[in-house]
Amino acid sequence: MIANYRQYIIPVLREALAVNPKLKIIASPWSPPGWMKTSGSMIGGTLLPSSFTPLARYFVRFVQSYEAAGAPIFAITPQNEPRNIPADYPGMGMTAEEQPVFIREHLGPALRAAHLKTKIMAFDHNWVPRRSNYRPLEITSDAHPTVDFTALAHASNFVAPGALRIDSTSSEESPLKHVAFRNSDGSIVLLVLNPSESAITFGIVWQSQYATYMLQPGAVVTFHWPPISRTRH
């Protein structure tokens, strides 16, 4: 499946990873094979409904092949520039309605079944300051990817790579769900979720400091304490 990449692309990726092992590789396809598309060609067209599952399997084989070749894929996107359908080179359209279905019902389950931890990034498109281009809102408004996206946004904004989970406690009667982290710079992050159907006022105690907060039903909140400065003597 990746024979065409073995001579140039994969060796370069392996060299780059040797220099920086923390490098993250993201793969984004220009077009699936023509038989999967309405155009019957790698140029133009959209994905046939009958091709959702086969394309998901292609992604799995691609990721597995790159990993076996020493170039593990950190993340994939379902389609490069999904709103652009070029007329003279490979590409494919994929609407904001199609992407959640493909990810939720085909690509995500296929990756999980193969025990792959590869991330999925939706709407790999150019930024254009026009309202007609604000398709990510339609993708993330899907009633099935929304809760996870909200939780991910809260965590990724404040919990840095390498952070350690630290203990956070509450009374057994409290319905609140919470988790705390300490970043490598010493800053503390606390995420709290209210899964109940009514607002809850709760207190936060940390290092002799106390605060109260009212959390609405179904809402999540992030608290952040900056690192404590140390005075040199």
Q: What is the pLDDT of residues 81-135, one digit of tens each?
A: 998 899 999 999 998 889 999 999 999 999 999 999 999 988 777 765 454 454 5
> For 137-146, what is each residue's pLDDT tens digit?
666 666 557 5
Q: Is pLDDT above 50 for 200?
A: yes
**Domain extents in the chain:** 3-144, 161-225
CATH architecture assignment, domain 161-225: Sandwich (2.60)
Residues 6+ apart with CB under 8 A from 194: 175, 176, 200, 215, 216, 217, 218, 219, 220
Distance, CA of 207 to CA of 211 (rounded, Å): 12
Collapse the DSSP code of 198 into the 3-class scheme (helix H, G, I; strand E, B; otherwise coil) and give the result.
coil
Q: What is the mean pLDDT of the chain?
A: 87
Asked if residue 65 lies in contact with residue 17, where contact means CB atoms within 8 angstroms, the answer is no
119-122: long-range pairs with CB below 8 Å, 24+? 119/74, 119/75, 119/76, 120/75, 120/76, 120/77, 120/78, 121/26, 121/75, 121/76, 121/77, 122/77, 122/78
Asked if the domains at 3-144 and 161-225 fall in one CATH topology, the answer is no
Distance, CA of 73 to CA of 119 (rounded, Å): 9
Is it true that domain 3-144 has CATH number 3.20.20.80? yes
> For 9-39, what is each residue's pLDDT tens digit?
999 999 999 999 989 999 999 999 999 999 9
Distance, CA of 117 to CA of 95 (rounded, Å): 25
How much is the pLDDT for 231? 43
Pairing state between β 75-76 and 119-120: parallel
How much is the pLDDT for 18? 95
